[in-house]
Amino acid sequence: MPTGKGRHINEAIGKSILIFSDGACSGNPGPGGWGAIVVTPEGTVRELGGSERGTTNNRMELTGAIMALRAIEDLRPGAVDFYTDSTYVIRGITQWIWGWRKRDWKNAEGEAVLNRDLWEALSRAVSAREKKSKVNWHYVRGHRGTPGNERCDEIAVEFSKNKWVELYCGPLIKYSVPIYDLPEDEPLPEMKPKAEKVKPYSYLSFVHGEVWRHSDWPSCERRVKGQTNAKFKKAMSPADEKSILTEWNVPSSTVIHEKK
């Protein structure tokens, strides 16, 4: 078994619960998937994964983390080493969430925090685990060859494509992924200055042959969620909207309905 580029396997195995998680999305918003791997000190491995048709990459990153922590709810006390390439998840759960709560779930700009439902679910999962032992968050750079991260990415991407994925559950000794090939710890990358937000002109949903125009993503999401063959897209301008309708072969003059 490989000893890894960073920490030697014998220094890590059996000392803590090891978790990797990742999320993927096509379109953002669009069809998404998440994947996670949980390794216990006793030497068992469990892969997890799932999908959602209308979602975002950040929601899938959060879902992967939540589902992984829920999977260890009943395990004995012991530290958790959690690896993810999502700076959004790590900064949110270790830094930003305290300010959001003080401001009644508003961000620094006074806007409602996106994905509040998942942040609250993640916070509950972390709090439940930390009654037993600490959760240590580790940043791992994506697509740099870290086996656990690469496997989670593979699971998430396949689920986002609505493909069947064989998820492993069994002894570590038979697991084909060198999961303890761990990277050296490194700090989170510096945050980039925020670009000025450009508000979308509209969100379009196409369900059962009828197009609606929405002023925000949540109302569009509600309409397409669970609907077979539904289409949805964000338009940044009237011309962009017209182009989308042309792509969908829908005349703009007759079938667009305002959704208030």
- At residue 6, does pLDDT exceed 70? no
Sign of the CA dihedral running 178, 180, 183, 189: positive
For a pLDDT cut of 70, what percent of the chain falls above it?
A: 93
Rounded to the nearest 5 degrees, what angle is found at the Cα of 17, between the Cα atoms of 55 and 190? Answer: 55
Average pLDDT score over residue span 146-168: 97
- At residue 260, does pLDDT exceed 70? no
For residue 34, the model assigns a pLDDT of: 98
pTM above 0.75, yes or no: no
Average pLDDT score over residue span 59-68: 98
For residue 83, the model assigns a pLDDT of: 98
Domain boundaries, the chain: 9-174, 202-259
Mean pLDDT computed over every residue of the chain: 90
- Please give the backbone phi and psi of residue 32, each rounded to the nearest 5 degrees, phi first: -135, 170
The CA R_g of the chain, rounded to the nearest whole Å, is 21
Q: Is 110 left (phi over 0), alpha (psi -120 to 50) or beta?
A: left
Residues 227, 209 contacting (CB under 8 angstroms): no
Sign of the CA dihedral running 213, 215, 218, 222: negative
User: 59-68, 111-120, 121-130, 232-241: lowest mean pLDDT where?
Assistant: 232-241
Q: Which residues pair with 46 in a beta bridge?
A: 38, 169
Average pLDDT score over residue span 173-178: 97
For residue 21, the model assigns a pLDDT of: 98
Provide the pLDDT confidence category of residue 162 given band limits of 50, 70 and 90. Answer: very high
Catalytic positions are: 22-23, 61, 85, 143, 153
Token duo for residue 57? 């990459």
Average pLDDT score over residue span 109-131: 95
For a pLDDT cut of 90, what percent of the chain falls above it?
A: 71
Residues 153, 22 contacting (CB under 8 angstroms): yes
Q: Which residues pair with 44 in a beta bridge?
A: 171
- At residue 4, does pLDDT exceed 50? no
Q: What contacts 188, CB < 8 A, 6 or more positions away?
A: 87, 90, 91, 139
Average pLDDT score over residue span 236-259: 83
For the structural domain made of 9-174, what CATH number should be given? Answer: 3.30.420.10
Integer Cα distance of 58 and 55 in angstroms:
9
Residues 151, 177 contacting (CB under 8 angstroms): yes
Q: State the number of CA atoms in the 13 A half-sphere of 145 facing the CB.
A: 6
For residue 13, the model assigns a pLDDT of: 62
Integer Cα distance of 118 and 110 in angstroms:
19
User: 8-12, 40-44, 68-72, 163-167: lowest mean pLDDT where?
Assistant: 8-12
User: 6-10, 120-124, 195-199, 253-257: lowest mean pLDDT where?
Assistant: 6-10
Residues 212, 223 contacting (CB under 8 angstroms): yes
Token duo for residue 17? 């619960």
